[in-house]
Amino acid sequence: MDADSPRHIAVIGSGPAGCFTAQALRRQWKDADITIFDRLASPYGLIRYGVAADHQHTKAVTRQFDRNFGSGDFRFAGNVEVGSDIDLDVIRAEFDIVVLATGRWRDRTLTVPGAHLDGVLVSGDIVNALNTVPRPNIPMPTIGRKVVVVGAGNVALDIVRFLIKTAADYADSDVSPEALDSYLSSPATEVTVLSRSPIASAKADVAMIRELGKIPGVRITVANASPAAEDNTLGRKREAAFAELASRDVDEVRAHVHFVFGATPSRVGGTTQVETVHLSAAPSGEASVIPADTVISAIGFDVNAPGHWHYAEEYDFTPSDTLGRIGPGLYRSGWLKRGPVGAIPANRSDAHQVAKEIIADVESGDCTINPEAGGYEALPASLTKQSVSFAHWGRIDSAERANAGESRIRRKFHDHEDMLAAARSQDS
């Protein structure tokens, strides 16, 4: 090994950003020891705990990371939360390079009057319940029959799909049976989706819009305040996709979804529970008061959520599309770097860019290699003992698959402690 090559690399966060960055660094430095830490006992971040259960094909990206972990390209150290189980400084002292890839995951909440009423929910609570997020596990909140979804990006469309799908649509998935049953015992029949932007600049991917058309028994209607200009190709594609949804013949309607583009909610009405949503702007002919018992906001993530960077508060986490470096030998990647936008492939290109930057810093001497650093093995024994290895995760994985139940691929553990018990089940 070249004396100037890093020997010990730590990546904090095992989501796609962390894994893609580790892959790119591994390609450059074949002999470096790379450890990926995660606060959870399972790897892969939002691929496991955010991507919708009816999109299992998207989760298949984890197979390539499985191979990396399985072949020893990198070590998994789960159940290690940087900031509470170990200080970032302690990790930095033992590793030549540290890459933070802890994502950004807290919903932005509605700020209109009435947003505190019972029945106002954030999409994250529903996503977490359906994906069985542990630490802490939150059960499916109560959702009524008349739902207003605020937002029209991909996460909002995930929520709309969930509201209008049936139990059969989750065959061969890993959805939480408790969360799904709880909702499907009394599913929504009227769903209104409000988007401030016109269709042309709404964030949803065309493929996500088209997918709604494959769900039987649902009538979809659309109101749009200002159509896309001739030269806005993507906007026109989105409009065409929505027009196609609205033109479908639907037999035996179970539910009605009405998309209103160019609509601004100004207030949620009710005394203790949501009763109405009031609009300050809406396309002409549209109601300005919508009866509702539930409001679900899917309006993006709060970049500055307090406590999020408790492990590294002294650094600047303003989103950046360019530089990953935030300190000597300290970098960031993925949503923590660019802000909470973009799908999994965007993290791959970002990770490659960050890896290039790291390699250039090492080659130019801007990132110095510490011959005294001992890497993972030099961390306190209590910490390495508590950490969950990839082999440990394999036991959790096997237990979840064994518990899958009929027409499911796995049944995830609800409880972090139960995951740890399954991980250690065969330790002597």
Ligand X SMILES: Cc1cc2nc3c(=O)[nH]c(=O)nc-3n(C[C@H](O)[C@H](O)[C@H](O)COP(=O)(O)OP(=O)(O)OC[C@H]3O[C@@H](n4cnc5c(N)ncnc54)[C@H](O)[C@@H]3O)c2cc1C
Q: Rule CB under 6 A: which residues touch ligand X?
A: 12-18, 37-40, 45-46, 50-51, 55, 58, 81-83, 101-103, 105, 127, 155, 158, 311, 334-336, 342-344, 347
Nearest to 126 by CA among 212, 50, 59: 50
Question: Which of 251/314 has CB closer to ligand X?
Answer: 314
DSSP 8-class letter at 375: G
* Angle, helices 16-28/62-70, rounded to nearest 10 degrees: 50
Give min distance, CB of 117 to ligand X, in A.
24
Residue 259, amino acid: F
Question: Which of 290/311 has CB closer to ligand X?
Answer: 311
Give min distance, CB of 266 to ligand X, in A.
26
Give min distance, CB of 351 to ligand X, in A.
9
Gap between the Cα atoms of 310 and 103, Å rounded = 13
Gap between the Cα atoms of 183 and 178, Å rounded = 9
Burial of 229 (0-12, 13-18, 19+ CB in 10 A): exposed
Question: Cα–Cα distances in Å, from 273 out to 115, 149, 190, 213?
Answer: 10, 16, 17, 32
Question: Which of 16/198 has CB closer to ligand X?
Answer: 16
Question: Which of 16/329 has CB closer to ligand X?
Answer: 16
Helices (H), 119-248: 123-131, 154-164, 177-184, 206-212, 233-246
DSSP percent split of the chain into helix, strand, coil, nearest 5: 35, 20, 45
Give min distance, CB of 299 to ligand X, in A.
12
Give min distance, CB of 51 to ligand X, in A.
4
Question: Which of 30/57 has CB closer to ligand X?
Answer: 57
Q: In the numeric block, which tokens belong to residue 384?
A: 């390495």
Give min distance, CB of 101 to ligand X, in A.
5
DSSP 8-class letter at 320: -
The vertex-68 CA angle with 67 and 70, nearest 5°, equals 60
Question: Which of 56/201 has CB closer to ligand X?
Answer: 56
Give min distance, CB of 279 to ligand X, in A.
26
Give min distance, CB of 76 to ligand X, in A.
11
3-state secondary structure of 221: strand
Question: Which of 343/391 has CB closer to ligand X?
Answer: 343
Query: Which residue in the shown chain puts its C-beta closest to ligand X?
Result: 15
Give min distance, CB of 12 to ligand X, in A.
5
Give min distance, CB of 325 to ligand X, in A.
17
Gap between the Cα atoms of 317 and 342, Å rounded = 17
Q: In the numeric block, which tokens belong to residue 23?
A: 């892959």
Helices (H), 80-199: 88-94, 123-131, 154-164, 177-184
Question: Which of 146/410 has CB closer to ligand X?
Answer: 410
Question: Which of 13/262 has CB closer to ligand X?
Answer: 13
Give min distance, CB of 127 to ligand X, in A.
4
Write out the H or E segment, with its range, that includes residue 9: strand 8-12
Residue 174, amino acid: D
Question: Cα–Cα distances in Å, from 413 out to 115, 337, 358, 399?
Answer: 32, 30, 37, 9
Question: Which of 205/275 has CB closer to ligand X?
Answer: 205
Q: What residues are paired with 122 via a beta bridge?
A: 297
Question: Which of 12/204 has CB closer to ligand X?
Answer: 12
Phi, psi (rounded to 5 degrees) for 122? -105, 150
